[in-house]
Amino acid sequence: DGGITQSPKYLFRKEGQNVTLSCEQNLNHDAMYWYRQDPGQGLRLIYYSQIVNDFQKGDIAEGYSVSREKKESFPLTVTSAQKNPTAFYLCASSIPGQTYNEQFFGPGTRLTVL
Amino acid sequence: SQQGEEDPQALSIQEGENATMNCSYKTSINNLQWYRQNSGRGLVHLILIRSNEREKHSGRLRVTLDTSKKSSSLLITASRAADTASYFCARPSNTGKLIFGQGTTLQVKP
């Protein structure tokens, strides 16, 4: 089955720790995205990547880092510099360069800071 | 804010009734998309309407677009309890990113 997977589904972190959220896709999409969603809110873009070995900051990149070494994978690290990391994190992918770019989403990771 | 505005923020209806959600935006668009999110899950693409289209249907969904008013609406007809979810509009920015609205939370009571 083609799709996007995220792991883990739930993640607990102590203050001061870095954690890495996994995102993998087998849709052969070049573009991948990370969003943050707070309760009752819409999605805010953290980072995005249009192609392997390249990525750009989104609207709320501070305290986060990413890598894009493989087309299939776009891991997100939440660093200790992120002041309020408790949130729901969504990964998505799409075919870049198209005007009508539908995004495909993973099931999400819920991060809680203890 | 670049985000669109959606209203209402929350909507509660009985099964069988129609649900209408509205989305407004500020800049020119070439398309507008609607997504659905079940509680605690990822988003699922529902429908895309292009700027040269006024109305589009998909099953029980009807989307309209008024580019002169910079607004779109999503109508769900004959709603079911399974339609309970949050619904988001999204428009592409000039760099290809999608900008999402705040969403409308729909509750359909059986």
Structure tokens belonging to residue B108: 């359909």
Q: Which residues pair with A77 in a beta bridge?
A: A20, A65
What is the structure's pLDDT at B9?
A: 93
- Give the residue from B29, B33, B37, B48 with the most A CB atoms within 10 Å of its CB, the best one to mutate: B37
* Residue found under tokens 């990964």: A91
A65's CB contacts (< 8 A; 6+ apart) are A76, A77, A79
**Quick one: pLDDT band at residue B1, thresholds 50, 70, 90?**
very low
* Mean per-residue pLDDT pooled into runs of 10, chain A (114 residues): 88 92 95 93 93 94 97 96 94 79 93 92
B27-46 pLDDT, tens digit each:
888 899 999 999 999 999 99
Residues of B in contact with A35 (CB under 8 A): 100
**Model confidence pLDDT, tens digit, residues B72-100:** 999 999 999 999 999 999 998 877 788 99
Q: Tell me what pLDDT residue A100 has.
A: 66
d(CA B86, CA B65): 20
Q: How far is Cα A42 from Cα A11, in angstroms, rounded to an integer?
A: 21
